[in-house]
Structure 1
């Protein structure tokens, strides 16, 4: 049985296998990056299945197509962000409000929601997977929150789930956009286990069979099949991460990495020096505020932040618009950040991002529980 979806032009498929709803992202030419239509179709399917007693759980995956890079979901459609920001397109506001509402729905979904995180899982792809009851990675997983590379911050609940990584891992991942494989993702609580990519169909078949006995059996069977031992690479540097990324501000983190002096620390420092200085400072503040917030509070904060990313400096003056231009539009990989160095970032400029543009009663995410 297929659920009729009308917004994404076929980029989201919703099928039912016995008692399991199966969501498939099918936009391989864009690494399954989310459009507004895809967000609406995912929401439609999840709401329909939430209230359908014949559905025991949901499985979400990215489609595989010959000759394309493997991706679960590479994030949001950043080319759309760029075009919409320059054109004043109101759908840009709708995109983030509806995406964050979907992220919250997934985190609070009453039925088992299981994410098969094969291949590229970044940005918005993390937003539709981190709330899953089971987050399954593979040997091909490339996981990251790389938003500072485009003058943005780790949104889609990134402040909340990164802040709950051990030690100062959250600050490290948020600022650097470091790519993780399966072992590091499991080690740091961003995945629940791993399986070979070749076992997707057999894993799904096992879930379908278990679903005949209900949601609890489905979840137990899925968890029982996962492995948690995998090679770690980045996690080997955990002690240095905790030392350096516990510093009070971004300039101090830079100095700590320089003092650390290892090849690894200097490579991290070099990567940071290519990111937006302003958005690194905003991101550090975001993650540290989020440690004391509920998910709903964090998403409301992120909605404020993303509004400011496009409107404190409108149009081409936006750090985010400039970052996307350099990475995905002109592809010169030479963003003109403003300010150009971390020393030029002022506390006042950072704090402006955290002043909500809406009164509480009018906030677009005021109804999140």
Structure 2
């Protein structure tokens, strides 16, 4: 039995329902823009934040289930074309739309990370950029045989944001740095190995998982309800073990650690780009960095280094500072133009080599562009 909450909206880009359980209710969030692979717009971010705030204080809501419409993607990222328009219409900034989008998206991500009630994210299909930010923030993250995860921001001169500075720094060995620099695609097994997911469950069990959640007698204790969520998911994960795909990251860890072992970031970049390999996954990773912005590779590396000991709050504050400076600089707009607007895949990057980037220019991206960080009150 469901109680629709999308009143007043025809075909809302985010649908909200309350599912009646044996005791209590489950809030259901469905990203509903399959034509754009459920890419997040500012409106979608705001809708999700408002509902999270409402349900946080609703004693009837014991848990939350987040999924998405369509078979292809949970969420392919943020609405990068809208960010592009904001950047090109306001060269040098401020870029009000883009900067508001980042601030509100990161605030929503922080809400997910710090939510007391259990949130389950069903991360099927493409999970990239802003979609990974949503999934990574949830306490119970499910991936399926169709899951394809990537943070390919180096190809558009951005960086793995939405908390990437947090979860990439917590991956085994140098896996986080390698994935950030190359934008390499990973699957469900890799997500489990790197800590991006908690459970692998075959797609065929989704309806049964929801049914099981509705059969539970949820309590007023968030801790007890987290335990109940584990109890519901565990048997489905056990039944799905035979369909888990082979991973790429763990088998390549020795190579990843060797490639990322340089005296400085320039040597790491050289190691990755210069590798001679017939391995298809490593080849695609190499090409991602080779064709990406070398300036972006530098700020990606530095962001991860500077936040390696940061708190979650400090991570999102620092990401907003970097994102704001990036969107005001022309490299980002050129990357988006080449990949997503004109689609000529011929970006005119400002530097052919990371060694050409002046230290003062890189430093400028890590200086606050305002008197107070908009996320100071997280």
Structure 2 length normalisation: TM-score? 0.89
Q: Distance in 1 between matches of 2:364 and 2:9?
A: 35
CA contact (8 A) 1:146 1:177 kept: yes
Deviates more, 1:137-146 or 1:195-204: 195-204
After TM superposition, the structure 1 = structure 2 runs for residues 1-369 of structure 1, keeping only pairs within 5 Å, are 1-4=3-6, 10-18=12-20, 19-64=25-70, 70-88=72-90, 90-213=96-219, 215-224=225-234, 225-227=236-238, 230=244, 231-257=246-272, 261-264=276-279, 268-311=285-328, 313=329, 318-359=330-371, 362-368=372-378
Q: Distance in 1 between matches of 2:116 and 2:288?
A: 40
Q: What 5-or-longer segments of structure 1 have no aligned partner?
A: none
Question: What whole-Å deviation, never above 9, does each CA across 1:79-110 have from its counterpart, x for those lacking one?
Answer: 11111222236222211110000000000001
Q: Distance in 2 between matches of 1:339 and 1:82?
A: 20
Deviates more, 1:338-347 or 1:166-175: 338-347
TM-aligned CA deviation for residue 57 of structure 1: 0.6
TM-aligned CA deviation for residue 5 of structure 1: 6.5
Q: What 5-or-longer segments of structure 2 have no aligned partner?
A: none
Structure 1 length normalisation: TM-score? 0.91
CA contact (8 A) 1:210 1:221 kept: no
Change (3 A) 1:278 1:300: same
Deviates more, 1:107-116 or 1:194-203: 194-203
TM-aligned CA deviation for residue 246 of structure 1: 3.3
TM-aligned CA deviation for residue 269 of structure 1: 3.0
Question: What whole-Å deviation, never above 9, does each CA across 1:269-315 have from its counterpart, x for those lacking one?
Answer: 3331100000001001111222110111011111011111122x3xx
Deviates more, 1:96-105 or 1:231-240: 231-240
CA contact (8 A) 2:155 2:288 kept: no
Q: Distance in 2 between matches of 1:105 and 1:6?
A: 25
Q: Distance in 2 between matches of 1:54 and 1:248?
A: 55
CA contact (8 A) 2:189 2:247 kept: yes
Change (3 A) 1:323 1:258: closer
Q: Distance in 2 between matches of 1:259 and 1:278?
A: 18
TM-aligned CA deviation for residue 356 of structure 1: 1.2
For these two proteins, the number of residue pairs brought into alignment is: 357
Deviates more, 1:133-142 or 1:8-17: 8-17
CA contact (8 A) 2:98 2:327 kept: no
CA contact (8 A) 2:273 2:287 kept: no
